[in-house]
Amino acid sequence: MGLGGNVGDVLSNMAGALTYLDRHPDIRLVSVSPVYKTPPWGITEQDWFHNACAELETALTPDELLEQCLGAEKNLKRIRKERWGPRNIDLDILIFGVLEVAHENLTIPHPRMHERIFVLKPLADLVPDLPINGRAVREWLADLDDEPLEQIVLEENWVSERG
């Protein structure tokens, strides 16, 4: 899962979203990447984003997990104004094991994750050899090495301390 935001206390919002999901009886937070600060994508006249990836284990279906992600965003008062615009929290299901999903409101694997350093860098911290479209995450990341990215130094258990 990818998560991020650029409005308000984003780190607390990300931790709160992960805590919300982890409290569900059929979802377990396995690991979380470091957090990175990256320039906005799409609409560039806004603050930089904080981004991370998390690995979850779940007994839910992809659609049920999406429902829980939307519930976490709603719980944190996410307001959807414009695509690629400012937001206090954003949760994206990037992959779901080997499943492929093509619904109106959900596409897995995420169709543009291999183009975005703000997804690839934290994902590479968790699963560098994960195949996406026939190439490992680390290989896709190597194509984007010249894009701006800044790691945020946080305490190791930042999720439990903030969530």
Calpha distance 84→137 (Å, rounded): 23
Number of Cβ within a 10 Å radius of residue 100? 11
Catalytic option among 92, 135, 138, 162: 92
Number of Cβ within a 10 Å radius of residue 19? 15
Q: Is 146 a catalytic residue?
A: no
Calpha distance 50→141 (Å, rounded): 18
Q: Is 90 a catalytic residue?
A: yes
Catalytic option among 63, 80, 83, 87: 87
Q: Specify the residue for token string 């699963």.
A: 127
Q: Is 87 a catalytic residue?
A: yes
Calpha distance 1→54 (Å, rounded): 5
State the catalytic residues. Answer: 78, 87, 90, 92
